[in-house]
Amino acid sequence: MTRVVVAMSGGVDSSVAAALLREQGYDVVGIMLRLWSEPAATTDDGVELVAENKCCSLESVNDARRVAAALDIPFYVVNVEEPFRRTIVDFFYDEYTAGRTPNPCLRCNRHIRFTLLLERALALGADYLATGHYVRVDDDPATGLRRLRCGVDDAKDQSYVLHVLTQAQLRHALFPLGALTKPEVRAIAAARGLPVAAKAESQELCFVAANDYRGFVRRYAAASGRDAPAPGPILDATGTEVGRHEGLAYYTVGQRKGLGLTARAPLHVLQLDAARNALVVGPAEALDRDAFTVRETTFNAGIVPDAPFDALVKVRYKAPARPARVTPLPDGRAKVALAEAQRAITPGQAAVFYDAATGDQVLGGGIIE
C-alpha cells in the first residue's frame, strides 16, 4: 500500500485532504508541525496585551488529533520551532527592517514543508507528502516533467506561494483539493462528520500574534536583542524632507494612511530607501511601473530558459496575472517587462510566471528587487 504523509493543521482543508486520501486507499499518516509563534502577553494582573496566535495552539493540535482519530490514522506532532524561527521568522524581521515586504509563506513552503517535512515523510517510508493547498500537479504529456497548475477555484488558488517547488519536490507532492472549491471541501467535511467542518479559516500570519506585524517587529526586536527600526526622514520626489517616519519596517510600498502628512493631494509610499533610511512619497500615479527585475529565480522544469519568453505574471498573491516578457539573466535574475504598467509593485514580494497559452501552468518566478 502506498504511504502518504499529510501535513495537518487542525483546519478543514488538511483534514479533508487526509480523508480523501484515506478513501482512495492510501496508507495515510498525519503529521502536524509545531512552529514557532509569538507568545501571548499579559499584564501582571492578567489583562491580555497580545493575543495568542491560534495556528499552533493546543486547540489546533487537539482538532488535528480528533480528525486523525475519526479517520483511524496515526498522528504525530513534530517540533520544528527552532529551524522555523531561524529560517522564517528572522528572515521576516530582517526583510522588513531592510525596506522590503517579504512573503514568509512562500519561504516556509520551500524550506520547511517541502524540505524538512518532506525529508521526515520519506524517512517514514512515505512516497508522497500531501497538503491542503488548492493547486494541481500532473505530468506534461510532451516532456514527462511534473507540472504545477492552478487550483480550479480561482478564489482559493495557492500556486503563487508554491511556485518555488522543484521537480524532485513535485514528484513527491499530492494536492487532493486542487480540483475542488472551498464550499465543496466544507460539504465533504460535513458529510463525513469531521469535527472541523465548520471551523473558521485563519487569514493570519501563523507566527504573528493578533495579526499585528508592526507590533511584532517592535516586540521581536526587544525580545531578540536586535536594534529596533530607526526613525528617519520622509522625502518627496525632489528629495525635500516633508516629515519623519517611525522606522522603515512599519511601512510598505503603496501605503497612504498613517504617514502623518498633510498635502494638497494624497501622498503614497513610493520607495523604502534603506541606504538613506528614508521613506520616499509621491502621488499615486508615480506608483505605476512597467518593468522590474527579480532575483532568486526558480523554474519548475529545472531548466533556465535560454531566451526571453512571453508569460502571464502575477506580482502579488491576489493580483491578476498580466502579460509580460521575461528575460532570464546569467546571474540568476530575470528582467520582467509588463505589457501594461501595474501599481505598487513591491520589493520582497514574488513575481510568478504562468504559461501564456494556458494561463494555469506555473513556469517559475522570483523575488522582486
Count of Cβ atoms closer than 10 Å to residue 346 Cβ = 20
Nearest to 104 by CA among 211, 246, 13: 211
82, 106 contact by CB (below 8 A): no
- Tell me: do 360 and 256 sit in the same domain: no
Residue 54 has what pLDDT?
Answer: 58
Cell numbers linked to 121: 515523510
- Whether residues 205 and 246 share a domain: the answer is no
Indicate if 201 and 321 belong to the same structural domain: no
Residue type, 166: T
- Which residues are the active-site residues? 108, 206
pLDDT score of 181: 97
Asked if 207 and 273 sit in the same domain, the reply is no
Does 68 or 38 have the greater pLDDT score? 68
User: Considering the chain, what percentage of its residues have pLDDT values greater than 70?
Assistant: 95
Q: Does residue 53 carry a pLDDT above 70?
A: no
Phi, then psi, of 136 in degrees rounded to 5: -125, 150
Report the number of distinct structural domains present in the chain. 3
Pairing state of beta strands 232-235 and 278-282? parallel
Query: Quick check: is 9 in a domain?
Result: yes
3-state secondary structure of 192: coil
Residues 185 and 238 in one domain: no
| Residue recorded with cell 526622514 | 233
Q: What is the pLDDT of residue 51?
A: 57
Q: Are 5 and 128 spatial neighbours (Cβ–Cβ below 8 Å)? A: yes
Domain limits at 201? Answer: 3-132+176-211
Q: What is the pLDDT of residue 264?
A: 87
pLDDT tens digits, 310-341: 999 999 999 999 999 999 999 999 999 999 99
pTM above 0.85, yes or no: yes
Strands 75-79 and 278-282: unpaired
Q: What is the CATH number of the domain that holds 15?
A: 3.40.50.620
**Residue 148 to residue 53: CA distance in whole angstroms:** 31
- Rounded to a whole number of angstroms, the distance between the first and last alpha carbons of the chain is 46
pLDDT digits (tens, 9 = 90+) for 196-226: 999 988 767 888 887 788 889 999 999 888 8
52 pLDDT higher than 80 = no
Inside any domain, residue 222: no
Q: Are 22 and 3 in contact (CB under 8 A)?
A: no
Pick from 216, 233, 234: which is nearest to 224 by CA?
216
> pLDDT per residue over 82-105, tens digit each?
999 999 999 999 999 999 999 999
Q: How would residue 49 be classed by pLDDT, with cut points 50, 70 and 90?
A: very low
Are 219 and 50 within 8 A, CB to CB? Answer: yes
Pair 187, 316 in one domain: no
Q: What is the pLDDT of residue 210?
A: 76
- pLDDT of residue 115 exceeding 60: yes
Q: How confident is the model at residue 248 (pLDDT cuts 50, 70, 90)?
A: very high
Per-residue confidence band for 63, with pLDDT thresholds at 50, 70 and 90: very high
Assess whether pLDDT exceeds 70 at residue 43.
no
Quick check: 59 pLDDT over 70? Answer: yes
**Arithmetic mean of pLDDT, 1-18:** 97
Give the sign of the dihedral formed by CA 359, CA 360, CA 365, CA 367. positive
Amino acid at 124: L
Domain of 237, CATH number, reads: 2.30.30.280
Task: Give me the pLDDT at residue 46, please.
Answer: 46
Are 20 and 112 in a shared domain? yes
The string of pLDDT tens digits covering residues 125-152 is 999 999 999 999 999 999 999 999 999 9
Same domain assignment for residues 196 and 126: yes
- The count of C-alpha atoms lying within 13 angstroms of the C-alpha of 287, restricted to the half-sphere facing its C-beta, is 21
Residue 138 in domain: no
Q: How far is CA 124 from CA 3, 23, 30, in A?
A: 9, 21, 12
Scanning the chain, the segments in alpha helix (DSSP H) are 12-23, 58-71, 81-84, 90-97, 104-108, 118-123, 167-170, 182-191, 213-224
The pLDDT tens digits of the residues spanning 255-270 come to: 999 999 988 889 999 9
Q: What phi, psi does 232 have (nearest 5°)?
A: -165, -175
Q: What pLDDT, on the 0 to 100 scale, is given for residue 103?
A: 93
Is residue 143 included in any domain, yes or no? no
306 burial type by CB count under 10 A (0-12 exposed, 13-18 middle, 19+ buried) = exposed
Residue 297 phi/psi, 5-degree rounding, is: -65, 145
Give the type of residue at 134: Y
Q: What is the pLDDT of residue 41?
A: 55
